[in-house]
């Protein structure tokens, strides 16, 4: 049997496997029709959904008569297990689609055994509805122009007589007759009103009546002008993918919640261990691969490192994926006054807690986290954590800047015992790293970690610069200098905040197109004219723009950004990180005349409180971030390649999956 599988991206399989949509095709189709004509994969990729597309029957089985008609035999297996001869040996489509094929794709493609939905077209719509109703193995079901009542239509009668020996035997494979009690929160069906098979073969109204009778919620959408073709499927497939993704997400959350509740109940009911039995498990050191920066600008070296057990208030995590930020490259290049060598750089990651040190109360083994370079100690005595005005908790900032953990020592060493420094309290260019508990944002396990890493720095920073630091109002004008991931996140947030004019500025002309995708309304390239860029921006707007952002780290650009802010009230926000020894300047008159200069660290987000919320917003479909991932590599040893790619100018974020 031939089948096709779509897996969303060359990335790690999420814990528990890919949520999956099984697609069942119609008469005469094979495993290629859906993959080539439906246009579903962009939506499936967006939702993180795998798609499995089986053929519609065995082929070349040598069954007498298998190729005699288009609506029976080859290409027309009808998703039943044949019991009548000569079909019963080979034509076992129900078992194939619900047992054999899932076992195979679960093993070979990391497809989830539980988070699965089913949909299909015509005969495949019949298959989807009947297999979902009879097996209850699928979280959700939908269909396009399904054969709803096959015991009452010519296609069904022919199939049941041939494969099962009688039409009556087909009653167990008839969606209308199987609808005897509500089985799903909602079933989605689309039907074209210009479908030539509507009245004779499909009979959706019989299914509607059956659903109404038992109280099954059915969303049947009837579309004038649509026929039975794949144009019809491709027109509405996005809705079906989103329908299933939503159901699978709630199912996953429900399962996780139930598991957590069960664990909590077990913990509550278990008798407390006697004092002498309470053993603190001490984790052993781990050896793993890490990319070590030995000196500025020299390629990182992939080394075996020893990662010591977490000490008090620390956790050790397995890094699942890391996105490269420009700041890593900045420190590697030797321009960071705090840069130390040898060190393990990296600070934009998604990870899973592997072990916890003594005294850790808010994290457990298995938790999914995003490391934060701005910690949040949340102590009532911390005036920074207690204030809504800032995220800059100083609790471990001094040791972080010295490349060590809060007790003044490093958890990293080479095999010969050489100490390796930490970086920004994260050091995520390593398969394992140790973090302070107060640096970890615990996030929903439903969030794929290869995407979660984006919230660890650049994207969050750009969003927060707009929402938290400058608080852009609807109708504002905005100018963004530098359209990397940080600048584009500023653009994205400015658009979400209702800014009506968003000027993107970049030396790279290729950024105009990506900038427009994110929401810029105008693009300027400083290299296109001798005239200073701030003058060009002001002349576009009379008095300057309400909010400007430097996302380059260049101090001349910072000045230009300030000087094109609106006279009287314009605010300019410094986001870029400037090289050691660089200073900003402008004529004080610029400030006297009402412009304000400010800056942001991590967009003002409080790591532990806010990162989980950003993740949840993404999971709820309110905060798209997939477009930032322009490159994916596999293996921590690919980090040098990622640096090369980021410097190439076409990359927003290169995610390295470990």
Q: How far is the CB of 406 from Zn ion (least distance, A)?
A: 21
| Interface map 408-447 toward ligand NAD (x if CB under 6 A) | ----------------------------------------
CB of 534 to ligand NAD, least distance (A): 11
Q: Is 652 in the site for Zn ion (CB under 5 A)?
A: no
* Residue 519: both structure tokens together: 């929401």
Residues designated as active site = 122, 195, 228
Stretch that binds ligand AHE, among 19-27, 152-160, 334-342, 531-539 (CB under 6 A): 334-342
- Listing DSSP states for 521-556 in one string gives SEEE-GGG-SS-HHHHHHHHHSS-BSEEEE-S--HH
Report, in Å, the least distance between residue 452 CB and Zn ion: 15
Query: Which of residues 336 and 563 has its CB atom nearest to ligand AHE in the complex?
Result: 336
338: partner contacted, choices ligand AHE, ligand NAD, Zn ion, none (Cβ within 5-8 A by kind): ligand AHE
> How many Cβ atoms from other residues are within 10 Å of residue 612's Cβ?
19
Residues 306-325 that bind Zn ion (CB under 5 A): 325
CB of 2 to ligand AHE, least distance (A): 48
Q: Which of residues 195-224 bind ligand NAD (CB under 6 A)?
A: none
Q: Please, what is the angle between helix 485-496 and helix 511-518, to 10°?
A: 30
Among 98, 130, 191, 554, binds ligand NAD (CB under 6 A): 554
Nearer to ligand AHE by Cβ, of 302 and 601: the residue is 601
Which of 368, 511, 595, 608 binds ligand NAD (CB under 6 A)? It is: 511
The angle, 0 to 180 degrees and rounded to 10, between the axes of the packed helices 533-541 and 555-563 is: 20
Evaluate whether 477 touches 519 at the Cβ level (below 8 Å).
Answer: no
Give the Cα separation of 292 and 136 in Å (integer). Answer: 51
> In a 3-state reduction of DSSP, which class is residue 142?
strand
Stretch that binds ligand AHE, among 76-84, 99-107, 331-339, 532-540 (CB under 6 A): 331-339
Helix or strand holding residue 384 (H, E): helix 383-386
> Site residues for ligand AHE, window 391-410 (CB under 6 A)?
397
Q: What is the C-alpha separation between 356 and 280, in angstroms, rounded?
A: 10
Provide the Cα torsion 613, 617, 619, 620; round to 10°: 130
Q: What's the Rg (C-alpha) of the chain?
A: 29
Torsional class of 329: left (φ above 0), alpha (ψ -120 to 50), beta (otherwise):
alpha
Of 127 and 484, which CB lies nearer to ligand AHE in the complex structure?
A: 484
Residue 613 vs residues 327, 378, 425, 452, 610: alpha-carbon distances, Å: 24, 17, 22, 12, 5
Q: What is the phi-psi region of residue 448: left when phi exceeds 0, alpha when psi lies from -120 to 50, beta otherwise?
A: beta
Nearer to Zn ion, 550 or 563 (CB): 550
Contact 565, 586 (CB under 8 A): no
Residue 171's alpha-carbon distances to 15, 122, 165, 529, in angstroms, are 39, 18, 12, 76
Which of 175, 305, 325, 656 touches ligand AHE (CB under 6 A)? 325
**Range 583-602, binding ligand AHE (CB under 6 A):** 601-602
The answer to whether the beta carbons of residues 482 and 550 sit under 8 Å apart is yes
Question: Closest residue to ligand NAD, Cβ-based?
Answer: 484
Nearest distance from C-beta of residue 257 to Zn ion, angstroms: 33
Question: What x/- string results for residues 323 through 352 when contact with Zn ion is judged by CB under 5 A?
Answer: --x-x-------------------------
Distance set, CA 300 to CA 253, 303, 371 (Å): 39, 9, 21
577 binds ligand AHE (CB under 6 A): yes
The answer to whether residue 168 forms part of the interface with ligand AHE (CB under 6 A) is no
SS3 313: coil
Nearest-approach distance from CB 576 to ligand AHE, in angstroms: 9
Judged by beta carbon distances under 5 to 8 A according to partner kind, the member of Zn ion, ligand NAD, ligand AHE, none in contact with residue 337 is ligand AHE
What are the phi and psi torsion angles at 180 (to 5°)?
A: -110, -10
What is the total count of residues that contact ligand NAD (CB under 6 A)? Answer: 31
**Residue of the chain from 101, 145, 210, 485 that contacts ligand NAD (CB under 6 A):** 485
Structure tokens at 339: 């840069």
Rounded CA separation 46/52 (Å):
16
555 lies in the binding site for ligand AHE (CB under 6 A): no
End-to-end CA distance of the chain: 34
DSSP character for 100? I
Q: Check binding of 337 to ligand AHE (CB under 6 A).
A: yes
Considering the complex, state which of residue 221 and residue 644 has its C-beta at the smaller distance from ligand NAD.
644
**Is residue 202 near Zn ion by the rule CB under 5 A?**
no
336 binds, among ligand NAD, ligand AHE, Zn ion, none (CB under 5 to 8 A by kind): ligand AHE
Q: Contact with ligand AHE (CB under 6 A): which of 98, 149, 251, 327? A: 327
Q: CB 639 → Zn ion: shortest distance, Å?
A: 14
Q: Are strands 522-524 and 547-550 parallel, antiparallel or unpaired?
A: unpaired
Site string for Zn ion, 421-460 (x = CB under 5 A): ------------------------------------x---
Smallest distance from ligand NAD to CB 373, Å:
8
Distant-in-sequence, close-in-space partners of 49: CB < 8 Å, separation ≥ 6: 8, 18, 19, 20, 21, 241, 244, 245, 248
Report the sign of the C-alpha dihedral through residues 207, 212, 218, 224, in that order. Answer: positive
User: Per CB under 6 A, which of residues 47..106 are in contact with ligand AHE?
Assistant: none
Q: Which does 486 bind (CB under 5 to 8 A by kind): Zn ion, ligand NAD, ligand AHE, none?
A: ligand NAD
Minimal distance, residue 459 CB to ligand AHE, in Å: 11
* DSSP 8-state class, residue 165: S
| Cα separation, 573 vs 588, whole angstroms | 17
Q: Which is nearer to ligand AHE, 321 or 457 (CB)?
A: 457
Question: Using CB under 6 A, which of the segments 32-40, 197-205, 330-338, 645-653 binds ligand AHE?
Answer: 330-338
Question: What is the C-alpha separation between 144 and 125, in angstroms, rounded?
Answer: 6
Residue 282 to residue 355: CA distance in whole angstroms: 9
Per CB under 6 A, contacts with ligand NAD among 312-331 are: 325-327, 330
Total binding residues for ligand AHE by CB under 6 A? 10
Contact footprint for Zn ion (CB under 5 A) = 325, 327, 457
Contact footprint for ligand NAD (CB under 6 A) = 325-327, 330, 457-458, 461, 481-487, 505-508, 511, 526, 551-554, 557, 575-577, 600-602
Contact footprint for ligand AHE (CB under 6 A) = 325, 327, 336-338, 397, 457, 577, 601-602
């Amino acid at each position: 049997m031939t089948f096709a599988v779509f897996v969303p991206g060359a990335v790690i399989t999420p814990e528990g496997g890919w949520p999956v949509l099984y697609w069942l095709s119609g008469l005469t189709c094979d495993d290629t029709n859906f993959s080539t004509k439906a246009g579903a994969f962009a939506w499936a990729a967006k939702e993180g959904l795998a798609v499995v597309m089986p053929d519609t029957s065995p082929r070349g089985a040598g069954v007498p008569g298998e190729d005699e008609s288009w609506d029976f035999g080859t290409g027309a297996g009808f998703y039943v297990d044949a019991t009548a001869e000569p079909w019963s040996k080979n034509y076992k489509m129900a078992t194939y689609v619900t047992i054999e094929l899932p076992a195979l794709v679960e093993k070979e493609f990391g497809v989830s055994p539980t988070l699965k939905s089913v949909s299909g077209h015509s005969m495949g719509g019949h298959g989807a509805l009947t297999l979902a109703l009879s097996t209850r193995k699928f979280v959700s079901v939908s269909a396009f122009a399904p054969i709803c009542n096959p015991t009452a239509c010519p296609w069904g009668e022919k199939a049941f007589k041939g494969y099962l020996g009688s039409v009556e035997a087909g009653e167990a494979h008839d969606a209308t007759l199987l609808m005897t009690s509500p089985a799903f929160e909602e079933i989605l069906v689309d039907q074209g009103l210009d479908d030539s098979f509507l009245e004779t073969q499909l009979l959706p109204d019989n299914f509607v009546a059956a659903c109404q009778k038992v109280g099954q919620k059915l969303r049947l959408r009837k579309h004038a002008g649509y026929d039975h073709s794949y144009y019809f499927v491709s027109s509405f497939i996005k809705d079906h993918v989103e329908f299933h993704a939503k159901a699978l997400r709630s199912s996953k959350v429900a399962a996780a919640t139930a598991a957590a509740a069960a664990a909590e109940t077990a913990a509550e009911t278990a008798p407390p261990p006697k004092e002498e039995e309470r053993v603190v498990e001490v984790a052993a050191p781990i050896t793993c691969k890490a990319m070590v920066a030995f000196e500025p600008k020299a390629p990182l070296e992939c080394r075996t490192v020893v990662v010591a057990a977490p000490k008090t208030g620390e956790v050790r995590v397995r890094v699942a994926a890391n996105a490269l930020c420009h700041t890593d490259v900045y420190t590697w290049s030797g321009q960071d006054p705090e840069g130390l060598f040898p060190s393990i750089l990296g600070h934009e990651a998604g990870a899973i807690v592997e072990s916890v040190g003594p005294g850790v109360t808010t994290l457990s083994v298995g938790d999914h986290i995003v490391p934060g370079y701005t910690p949040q100690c949340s102590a009532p005595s911390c005036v920074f954590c207690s204030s809504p005005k800032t995220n800059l908790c100083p609790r471990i900032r001094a040791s972080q800047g010295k490349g060590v953990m809060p007790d003044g020592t490093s958890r990293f060493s080479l095999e010969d015992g050489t100490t390796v420094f930490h970086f920004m309290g994260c050091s995520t260019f390593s398969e394992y790293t140790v973090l302070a508990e107060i640096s970890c944002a615990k996030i929903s396990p439903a969030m794929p970690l290869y995407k979660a890493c984006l919230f660890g720095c650049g994207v969050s920073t750009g969003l927060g610069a707009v929402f938290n630091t400058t608080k852009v109002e609807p109708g504002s004008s905005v100018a963004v200098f530098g359209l990397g991931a940080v600048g584009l996140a500023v653009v994205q947030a400015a658009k979400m905040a209702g800014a009506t004019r968003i000027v993107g500025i970049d030396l790279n002309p290729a950024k105009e197109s990506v900038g427009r995708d994110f929401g810029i309304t105008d693009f300027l390239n400083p290299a296109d004219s001798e005239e200073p860029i701030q003058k060009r921006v002001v002349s576009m707007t009379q008095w300057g723009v309400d909010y400007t952002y430097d996302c380059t780290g260049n101090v001349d650009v910072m000045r230009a950004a300030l000087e094109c802010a609106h006279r009287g009230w314009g605010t300019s926000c410094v986001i870029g990180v400037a090289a050691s020894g660089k200073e900003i300047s402008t004529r004080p008159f610029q400030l006297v005349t009402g412009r304000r200069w400010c800056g942001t660290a991590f967009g003002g987000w409080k790591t532990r409180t806010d990162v989980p919320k950003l993740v949840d917003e993404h999971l709820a479909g309110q905060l798209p971030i997939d477009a930032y991932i322009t490159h994916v590599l596999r293996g921590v040893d690919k980090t040098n390649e990622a640096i090369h790619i980021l410097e190439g100018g076409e990359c927003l974020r290169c995610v390295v999956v470990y």
